[in-house]
Amino acid sequence: MRVASLQAQRRCRARPGVRSMTVPPESIQVGKCYLSNNGMVRRVVRLMPDGRVQYETRSGPLRNAKTWKPGMLQIRDFASSAQREVPCNWAPEGDG
């Protein structure tokens, strides 16, 4: 697992002219949840060796396991759309 994380980090070096990210790509970890810029919670399932992030996402309150839907993004895209790390049971009404 650690090897995949290091390989993904190598693919995410800063490029000139690209806006800075709130969540650095190298800090993304399996099992952690992140609030995306569209208000959805994304839970990281796997860091792929080719630099993609396999995740599950939900938009509403956490009701059951079917609330989570699968997704996949390049780690740079995942990081640039993440506002911050949040608890996996995060809800907007509890954010203060």
Going from N- to C-terminal start, the domains of the chain cover 2-12+31-89
User: What is the distance between the alpha carbons of residues 24 and 45, in angstroms, rounded to a whole number?
Assistant: 17
Q: Check residue 94 and give its pLDDT.
A: 64
- 25-60 residue pLDDT tens: 999 999 999 999 988 999 999 999 999 999 999 987
Q: Taking all residues of the chain, what is their mean pLDDT, rounded to a whole number?
A: 80
Phi/psi at 70 (5° precision) = -75, 155
Strand order in the sheet with 69-74: 69-74, 52-58, 41-47, 33-36, 82-86
pLDDT classification of 14: cutoffs 50, 70, 90: very low
User: What predicted TM-score, i.e. pTM, was given to this entire model?
Assistant: 0.73
